[in-house]
Structure 1
Amino acid sequence: MSEYSKSTRTKIKDCFKFLSQEAREFSLGGAVQSLDAVPSALAFYREFVSPNKPVVLRGLIDHWPALTKWSPTYIREKMGQQTVTVTLTPNGYADAVHCGKFVMPDERRMTMGEFLDALDHNDHVPGVPYIQKQNSNLADEFAPIIDDVESDLSLGSEAFGKAPDAVNFWMGDGRAVTSMHRDPYENLYCVVSGWKTFILIPPTDQPFVPYVLYQAAKYKLKDSGEFEIEDDTDSGQVPWIDIDPLRPDLTKYPDFANAHRYEVTVNAGETLYLPAMWFHHVRQSHGCIAVNYWYDMDYDIKYNYYKFVEKVMDVVK
């Protein structure tokens, strides 16, 4: 590499740092804001959706019967014999990089009662169980309790101008962790019981977040109760983030030190607006229950700028 190209590369990387700093100082601030009063759809759009800025909303789901009804006992009574899809992993990390591969979880069908037994007793099933099927499983597999929540959130549908593309039910072991990733959805994430802690990184900091291609693979639970990893040749290679924001390997990924991380805990009865394309890593309390609403993002000029930065990153690399 010539001295000129080295100098140009350094200048571009300095521009990335400037972009990150400007976003924090003029738009995002130093922490995720919380609101005790639910804003109008217009105010929500102007203050948070348009600037692509997360916020915790209190009071949005106060009227949900689920907040008082959804105990393990109630769920067992209402749908203990209902068959649901449960993911199993040996370490709590589904859809994550392990042993140099992007590894997806083993999926099993079991009754909701069996899943609740597995949460109560770690030896009932091998590995870490988690209900996280992301294909609008609330309507598909949780119909007996769907009336305790809403199939749509009026705040979201008015602000985004569309109905949700998917509504998902989440419940899992406290050892289950969602590895850092991003989604092309506007996300309203409602915690019904327990808590979830999110580590968020804004899209403006994407130059510091390492995306690498990995061979896709899946965990397979053997009859012995042990897990093995099998390549998923149909999926080929998958781009993913191989970094733990709690314990980042800055020797391997030194640029990650420049990524600004926001940490926010969402408690029962609260809703996190997680804007599209924000990187996020999630931990949870044991038995935490949540329902989230995904709305298709708009591929507007913000997305164009995002892709432009992505292309400049490729040039720098």
Structure 2
Amino acid sequence: MPNEKAQTLTVAEAFAETSKALQQFNIERIRVDGLSRGNACDEEKFRMLTEQEFMREFVFHSRPCIIVGALCDWPALQRWRDDRYLFDLDEKLPMVYEKERTSKGNGEINENDSFHEDEEIVTESDAEDSKNGTSNNEAESQGTLGPRRVTVALTPNGRADAVTYVTYNAVKNESQVHDKLEGKSDFVVTEKLFMSAAELRVTLPELYRLLRANPLVPPLKSQFVDLRRPQRSIAYAQMQNNCLAEEYQHLHADIDTALDRFGTRVFGGKREAANIWLGTPASVSSMHQDWVENLYAVVRGVKEFILVPPWEGVFVPKPELPAAAFTLKAAANCKEGEEEYIFSDSPTRDGTSVPWMDVELTPAAVDDPLHIKEELRDKLHPLIAYVQPGEVLYLPALWLHRVAQHADSEDSRVIEEASTEEIAKVSRHDQKHSAPLPLIAAVNYWYDMSFTNPAVVMLREFGLLL
């Protein structure tokens, strides 16, 4: 006879039971036939699934998992350990013509196509011809000739695109802005805003220098920023605009395409975007959700994902907040190539508002519900996933996630060894011997969410598509 209790469960109770079951089993590590490689130990520890089994058990059930051994054929696993290579500190990359940046489409990556159509690669002889006026008009029309540049996000608190309490000196109206510039203000304001990062186009060595200057950990009370005081920047290369194809074409040869082809098959279509993430432990991504299927591949460092299933997302506060951004000004008395950036003393608004999730969950909340706000304590059942180098997180569409990051054991060991006085002396005289960055490097692929996926259909039927 069917269980009578099961017959009387409400929809909310049924979802809660599912969440508790996911908590009990946590995030499973698996292997996928044809994708995962690895040693005999991995073969014994983790289940091997076919692609069809992966789709049935995880995609159709909207269930996250970690795929091990999926990046064994990526040269990036070794090459990206070398900061000098990854950030072109020896300036070996050829110069490029960079046009004014425009929004592009998918920017397909091919194994034999290392560069984007917006850029022309320039050899030394080409550059010399350009100086002599012998370059063709087509090349000259490409734009400015120079080293490759990428986009970096800068914030004072390591949190881009996040609910932030911003304190600043305000004036009553625009006619008094000149008084503010002279140090006068009418009153101090603390506002709850949706804050975006300031963005800079920098060379790869400049990106390295900015990351090197980051603090070792996120600031305390990072949800609060006081712009009345000078704020140093925290850098994170975290553009979500298909930046692997748009800005990092020189790294395509380091990335095997098998994972992307796997995603195309199991999600039923080509990817929407491929992004690269280069950051340090100082940066945290606030709780949010994406309407895409996500394969998140960690190359270096450890990513810490706190996950909340979409059927619990309806309980998370999502206020409509004024949108604003941090803006920058260069610090005075800086040498060329050693610029420091400080933040303007007030947020820059764009006149819009953004609905954003207003909840902060930490690993402590996963271990003990007492660390969750009382009004959410019985409603949220967060999970945690630590994704190690060489592993891929399958993050189903609509799952809420907060992402922190940590240096992995290999970088931590080398950094600790390099902190001795003897090596520190060497590093001051020879940058080649300096300690590596506590870098977290990852690549992720986004695929369109299928509205015929059984899990998505269920969420839509119950009005849970946020």
Scaled to the shorter chain, the TM-score interval is 0.7 to 0.9
**TM alignment of 1:171-250, pairs within 5 A:** 171-224=278-331, 225-227=342-344, 228-233=346-351, 236-246=352-362, 250=373
- What is the alpha-carbon distance in structure 2 between the residues aligned to residue 118 and residue 264 of structure 1? 28
- What is the alpha-carbon distance in structure 2 between the residues aligned to residue 291 and residue 190 of structure 1? 5
- What is the alpha-carbon distance in structure 2 between the residues aligned to residue 150 and residue 117 of structure 1? 28
Q: Structure 2 residue aligned with 1:66, among 63, 66, 76? A: 76
Q: Structure 2 residue aligned with 1:94, among 160, 163, 169? A: 160
Of 256-265 and 16-25, more deviation after overlay is shown by: 16-25
Of 194-203 and 80-89, more deviation after overlay is shown by: 80-89
Runs of 4+ in 1 over 6 A off after TM superposition: none
Paired position in structure 1 for 2:18: 23
Q: Is the aligned partner of 1:293 residue 2:411?
A: no
Measured against aligned partners, the alpha-carbon deviations of 1:34-93 in whole angstroms (never above 9, x if no partner) come to: 114543321211111011100000111111000011121211336594200000000000
- Mark the CA change 1:209 to 1:88 in structure 2 (over 3 Å): closer, same or farther: same
- Mark the CA change 1:312 to 1:267 in structure 2 (over 3 Å): closer, same or farther: closer
Q: Structure 2 residue aligned with 1:259, among 380, 385, 391? A: 380
Of 302-311 and 255-264, more deviation after overlay is shown by: 302-311
Q: Is the aligned partner of 1:165 residue 2:165?
A: no
- What is the alpha-carbon distance in structure 1 between the residues aligned to residue 291 and residue 393 of structure 2? 16
Say what the alpha-carbon RMSD is for the aligned residues: 2.5
**TM alignment of 1:118-157, pairs within 5 A:** 118-122=210-214, 126-151=232-257, 153-157=260-264
Paired position in structure 2 for 1:11: none
TM-score between both structures, scaled by the size of structure 2:
0.59
Is contact 1:16-1:207 (8 Å) kept? Answer: no
Q: Is the aligned partner of 1:281 residue 2:402?
A: yes
Among the aligned pairs, what percent are the same residue? 34
Is contact 1:35-1:56 (8 Å) kept? Answer: yes
Q: Which entry has the higher C-alpha Rg, 1 or 2?
A: 2
Q: CA deviation at 1:309?
A: 4.0
Structure 2: gaps spanning 5 or more residues: 1-8, 37-48, 95-146, 166-191, 216-230, 332-341, 366-370, 407-437
Of 269-278 and 239-248, more deviation after overlay is shown by: 239-248
Structure 1: gaps spanning 5 or more residues: 1-13
Is contact 1:191-1:266 (8 Å) kept? Answer: yes
Q: CA deviation at 1:307?
A: 3.9
Is contact 1:185-1:276 (8 Å) kept? Answer: yes
Q: Is the aligned partner of 1:52 residue 2:62?
A: yes
**What SS is found at the alignment partner of 1:258?**
coil
Measured against aligned partners, the alpha-carbon deviations of 1:180-201 in whole angstroms (never above 9, x if no partner) come to: 0000000000000011000000
Paired position in structure 2 for 1:3: none
Looking at both structures, which has the greater relative contact order when contacts are Cα pairs under 8 Å and sequence separation is at least 6?
A: 1
- What is the alpha-carbon distance in structure 1 between the residues aligned to residue 315 and residue 360 of structure 2? 13
- Mark the CA change 1:169 to 1:97 in structure 2 (over 3 Å): closer, same or farther: same
Paired position in structure 1 for 2:28: 33
- What is the alpha-carbon distance in structure 1 between the residues aligned to residue 372 and residue 22 of structure 2? 29
Count residues in correspondence. Answer: 295
- What is the alpha-carbon distance in structure 2 between the residues aligned to residue 311 and residue 119 of structure 1? 39
Tell me which amino acid in the other structure corresponds to 1:226.
F
